[in-house]
Amino acid sequence: MPELPEVETVRAGLARRVLGRTVADVEVVHPRSVRRQAGGAQELRGRLRGRMFGAAVRRGKYLWLTVSEPGEEDPPAEAMLAHLGMSGQLLVQEPPGARRRVGELEDLMHPAPVMAVDDHGPVDLTAARSPAVTAESPATTAHLRARITFDDGGQLWFVDQRTFGHLMVVETAPTDDGAPAGRGSDAAVLPAPVAHIARDLLDPALDRPTLVRRTGRRATEINRALLDQSVVSGVGNISADEALWRARLHGARRTELLRPPRLRELYDAATEVMRDALAAGGTSFDALYVDVDGAAGYFARSLNAYGRAGLPCRRCGTPIRREQFMNRGSFSCPRCQRRPPRR
DNA sequence: AAAGGGACCTGGCTGC
DNA sequence: TGCAGCCAGGTCCCTT
């Protein structure tokens, strides 16, 4: 389930592998994957063919590649926006026998270390990285939703089992504050559909005092505020549970009753969760999430709350509980994270 | 206006 | 054994 760390891993991969490449053709296999594109598959294709990918930028769980005419001097005014939803992947396929690209060589020579933390402390899992799920595997080809072919024969595949994700080409507009739009960007422009998405916890331009103030002004449960992408972006169900566990807060605590120092602690905890997961290459539990080369992340091994119902809390040994929240599971320690009194 | 709940989607798992 | 039903969750949209 891609959350911010997984999307950042994908963004970094795209930055190494597809920037400067020109689109020769686009094939949309499943119309639902382009449902948000006005004009549908035809429009997407028309707006990508013959054009070149520029910067790879991410804000929260949204990711985009700027799009421009080859040789164009002006800053790109359009972008291909992608959201991976629950199960989306962006996979780069090089043509058989092609010379390895610089970014690919770097990946092979200096594979990113994969670290995790289990019951016995930090573990280096780099050597244990699973064999890449190749794009030719039946499961991947069965869920291929769109294929972008470059003029050099390489391809970018959008694979998405549950089709919650989508692709679209949209106009960009200046950001509110004029600061870079997000991770990976020098440009202060945002794709229109991302305008309501707040900065995320790994964004250097995030204004934390304002975030804390705004959160305290809301009248809702802290769990809801964490998951609300217009407050702060990038937090999903997994990282929300993990951040609340680290901060020893129950998700049903009311935002308006939490004091600023407590909110600061919570956001600091959430930031640590993001950084740890990113260092591990993603939080996925299964083969659904993979980076641009198809390698799964290992952060799942260091989860403290999420998915651990009945298992002992790593702090106090009390069995982790599972509660129903917003039609989904929420995991917490009954002792470290006391449920607030009913109002 | 802000908050809350349902819909969307597919594959894996559970229980009868 | 087979199948129905439940569960997973990010985001949008509708209702209150």
Inform me whether the pLDDT recorded for A166 exceeds 70. Answer: yes
Residue with minimal CA–C1' distance to B9 is A162
Q: So what's the pLDDT on residue A2?
A: 84
Q: How far is the CA of A118 from the C1' of B2 (A)?
A: 41
- For chain A, the distance separating the N- and C-terminal CA atoms, rounded to the nearest angstrom, is 34
Chain C positions with any atom < 7 A from a protein CB: 7-12
A343 is catalytic: no
Cβ contact A1 with chain C strand, < 7 A: yes
Residue nearest to nucleotide B6 (CA to C1'): A327
pLDDT category at A275 given cuts 50, 70, 90 is very high
Confidence class for position A14, pLDDT limits 50, 70, 90: very high
Decide: A36 and A90 in contact? Cβ < 8 Å: no
Phi and psi of A144, rounded to 5°? Answer: -65, 120
Of A273, A86, A274, A79, the closest CA to residue A195 belongs to A79
Tell me the pLDDT tens digit for each residue of A92-129: 998 877 766 656 655 544 444 444 443 333 444 443 33
User: Is position A218 annotated as part of the catalytic site?
Assistant: no
Output the pLDDT for position A186.
87
A177 falls in which pLDDT band (50, 70, 90)? confident
H-state helical runs in chain A: 4-17, 40-48, 102-109, 138-142, 208-216, 222-227, 237-247, 260-279
Q: Which of A2, A5, A76, A180 is catalytic?
A: A2
- The residues, any chain, with a CB within 8 Å of residue A6's CB and separated by 6 or more, are A84, A277, A282, A283, A284, A289, A291, A297
| A37 CA vs B12 C1’ separation (Å) | 31
> What are the pLDDT digits (tens) for A81-92?
999 999 999 999
The answer to whether A318 and A311 have CB atoms below 8 angstroms apart is: no
Say yes or no: Cβ of A61 under 7 A from any atom of strand C.
Answer: yes
Find which nucleotide's C1' atom is closest to A163's CA.
B9
pTM of the model: 0.89
Are A339 and A278 spatial neighbours (Cβ–Cβ below 8 Å)? no
pLDDT of residue A73: 80
Span A288-319, pLDDT tens digits: 444 454 444 445 557 899 988 998 999 999 99
For A131-147, how does the pLDDT look when each residue is reduced to its tens digit (9 = 90+)?
A: 333 455 777 888 999 99
Complete DSSP assignment for A23-62:
EEEEEES-GGGGTTSTTHHHHHHHHHTT-EEEEEEEETTE
Residues 160-199 of A with CB under 7 A from strand C: 162, 164, 193, 196
Q: Token pair of A285, please?
A: 């539990």
CA A69, CA A74: separation in Å to the nearest integer? 10
Q: Which nucleotide is nearest to A217 (CA to C1')?
A: B2
- A254 nearest nucleotide via C1' and CA: B3
On whether the CB atoms of residues A182 and A57 are closer than 8 A, the answer is: yes
What does DSSP assign to residue A15? H
A59 touches strand C (CB under 7 A): no
Using pLDDT thresholds of 50, 70 and 90, give the confidence band for residue A266: very high
Rounded distance between C-alpha atoms, residue A86 and residue A274, angstroms: 18
Q: Report pLDDT for A325.
A: 86
Distance CA A71 to C1' C12 in A: 37
In the residue annotation, A328 being an active-site residue is answered as yes
Query: What does pLDDT average to over chain A?
Result: 85
CA of A235, C1' of C5: distance in angstroms = 30
Decide which of A340 and A100 is more confident. A340
Mean pLDDT across A5-17: 92
Contact between residue A215 and residue A235 where contact means Cβ atoms under 8 Å apart? no
Q: Is A2 a catalytic residue?
A: yes
Percent of chain A whose predicted confidence (pLDDT) is above 90 = 66
Instruction: Output the pLDDT for position A191.
Output: 96
